[in-house]
Structure 1
């Protein structure tokens, strides 16, 4: 893994943990298998009201595409 990517992922993890020792263990709906995962410390999560939720693949891909478009690189 390139050092730049490792740095970004470390910053994301630090921000999600919000000063806690570990990430929150959340369940994620798998649309392919149509089941909930066991509680896991997903890296990409956010607060939604009073709950924490795992970001969907589609949502993360949209964020990446927005960032690439803003940088003038187009979409993935």
Structure 2
């Protein structure tokens, strides 16, 4: 933080100013991104049967949710 105060040119711009910001927001709503998020969550809870819940519950919910979007 001291370097940024000393030289403001080192500070990064806000995320909204990047040219591909809207594309990134769309990508966060796709099936593979949500599947990856669910897998990471299951990995963090492996000791509470996270992988089993992921396989039987989360994957089914995502297929149901995104299957409807594809059909429309």
Answer whether TM exceeds 0.5 for this pair. Answer: no
TM-score, normalised to structure 2, is 0.32
Greater C-alpha radius of gyration: 2
TM-score, normalised to structure 1, is 0.30
Richer in helix (by share): 2
